[in-house]
Amino acid sequence: MEHHENDRKIVGLAPSRNLSFYGRDIISVRQFARDDLAYIFGVASEMRSIVRRLGATDLLKGHILANLFYEPSTRTSSSFIAAMARLGGSIIPIHGVQYSSVSKGESLPDTIRTLECYADVIVLRHPEVGASEVAARYASKPIISAGDGVGEHPTQGLLDVFTILSELGRLDGLHVAMVGDLKNGRTVHSLTRLLRLYDVHFSYVSPDILRLPDEVKDEMTEAGRTFEETERVEDVIADADVLYVTRVQKERFADLREYEAVKDYYEITPELMARAKEQMAVMHPLPRVGEIHYDVDDDPRAAYFRQMENGMYIRMALLAAVLGKA
């Protein structure tokens, strides 16, 4: 895999030494200030160099992660498993819980309190909004949310911002265009909320019925961020430093005719990319089902697989941080 030149740039970031993540839960993008992000990105950047030079470290040897997934997410669970393994730690994989004894009518707090008897840190994916917060309230060990319902997906937000920083070397002064289902995509909400901490100008590109909720737009305005809305990628492609493309998720539509009408609304093609800046980044949380043409994959600006890889480094950083080993 080729690595992008800009990877190195963020090594220079001085992590704030007085921050402590030891024992903290990671349940919302709202819990981070710029200093926190600088610290996490600094550690993630170190993790990246460790993995590239050595493959792995023994930093979390003897530590156990319980990977508790109440709904399947191979991508996210694999990323956490890889992160823990590359830190030398062990994993209790608990996937497909809906079919298992954990769900014999047991409450989430009881399950969490049981698992923390065995593990040192718990990663939780849950279909219900707020589940991570409930878990964190009852747990004495750190909880890291791997997404709860249409709510938060904080580690996705962090890896997205880390990727922008890695690709472009900075965050302030960028023009970030978000494309696709901006109404239902928790990824988009988490990312835009994190980016409000920086001097970023936004373009929100979506079909009319899939616009960013007013609530999120209001937060941006309050934070002093500027944005415009459009239905056409063509309007923003020439100016964007980041084109963040998302899938229109069938499972979010009650009316399937609405889904059919918008599902193929956007496709990023080489022709479109020809009109984009020479230095910019196309991102996607993956899986994609047609939003980005395969012929874009070889474009050096196609950052989505580096984005995946960064997910592992961010999760390594978070695991090490909450276990006091960063």
Q: Is 72 in the site for its own copies (CB under 8 A)?
A: yes
Q: Is 106 in the site for its own copies (CB under 8 A)?
A: yes
Helix residue ranges, H only, 122-235: 131-138, 154-168, 186-195, 214-222
Structure-block tokens of residue 150? 């249409």
Residues in the chain: 326
DSSP 42-96: HHHHHHHHHHHHHS---TTTT-EEEEEESS--HHHHHHHHHHHHHTT-EEEEE--
Q: Which residues contact 127 (CB under 8 A, 6 or more apart)?
A: 70, 71, 148, 149
Q: Between residues 56 and 209, which has the closer beta carbon with respect to its own copies? A: 56
Q: Is 105 in the site for its own copies (CB under 8 A)?
A: yes
- Give the per-residue contact string, 122-161, with its own copies (x = CB under 8 A; - = no): ------------------x---------------------
Please report, for residues 23, 132, 297, the alpha-carbon distance to residue 303 in angstroms, rounded to integers and kept in the order given: 32, 29, 9
Q: Is 97 in the site for its own copies (CB under 8 A)?
A: yes
Which residue from 73, 183, 261, 267 is in contact with its own copies, where contact means CB under 8 A? 73
Residue with tokens 């919302």: 28
Q: Which stretch binds its own copies (CB under 8 A): 169-177, 181-189, 224-232, 306-314?
A: 306-314
Least distance between its own copies and beta carbon 132 (Å): 18
Which residue from 47, 66, 168, 314 is in contact with its own copies, where contact means CB under 8 A? 66
Q: Between residues 12 and 55, which has the closer beta carbon with respect to its own copies? A: 55
Least distance between its own copies and beta carbon 152 (Å): 18
Q: Is 167 in the site for its own copies (CB under 8 A)?
A: no
Provide the CA 133 distance to its chain's centre, in angstroms.
Answer: 18
Cβ-based burial of 148 (10 A; exposed 0-12, middle 13-18, buried ≥19): buried
- Stated as kind and residue range, the H or E segment containing 321 is helix 304-322
Q: Between residues 37 and 66, which has the closer beta carbon with respect to its own copies? A: 66
**For 211, how many CA atoms within 13 A lie in the half-sphere containing its CB?**
11
Which residue from 21, 27, 29, 86 is in contact with its own copies, where contact means CB under 8 A? 86
Least distance between its own copies and beta carbon 79 (Å): 6
Task: Identify the three-state secondary structure at position 306.
Answer: helix
The residue type found at 263 is K
Least distance between its own copies and beta carbon 233 (Å): 21
Q: End-to-end CA distance of the chain: give it in Å, rounded.
A: 26
Query: How far is residue 249's CA from residue 247's CA, in Å, rounded to a whole number?
Result: 6
Query: How far is residue 66's CA from residue 69's CA, in Å, rounded to a whole number?
Result: 9
Give the binding-site size for its own copies (rule: CB under 8 A).
57
Least distance between its own copies and beta carbon 263 (Å): 11
Q: Is 90 in the site for its own copies (CB under 8 A)?
A: yes
Least distance between its own copies and beta carbon 174 (Å): 24
Kind of pairing between the strands at 121-126 and 64-69: parallel
Q: Is 288 in the site for its own copies (CB under 8 A)?
A: yes
Q: Is 267 in the site for its own copies (CB under 8 A)?
A: no
Q: Is 13 in the site for its own copies (CB under 8 A)?
A: no
Q: Is 6 in the site for its own copies (CB under 8 A)?
A: no
Q: Between residues 164 and 248, which has the closer beta carbon with respect to its own copies? A: 248
Q: Is 298 in the site for its own copies (CB under 8 A)?
A: no
Residues forming contacts to its own copies in the complex (CB under 8 A) are 1, 54-57, 61-64, 66, 72-76, 78-79, 81-82, 85-86, 90-94, 96-97, 99-102, 104-106, 109-111, 113-120, 140, 286-289, 294, 305, 308-309, 311-312
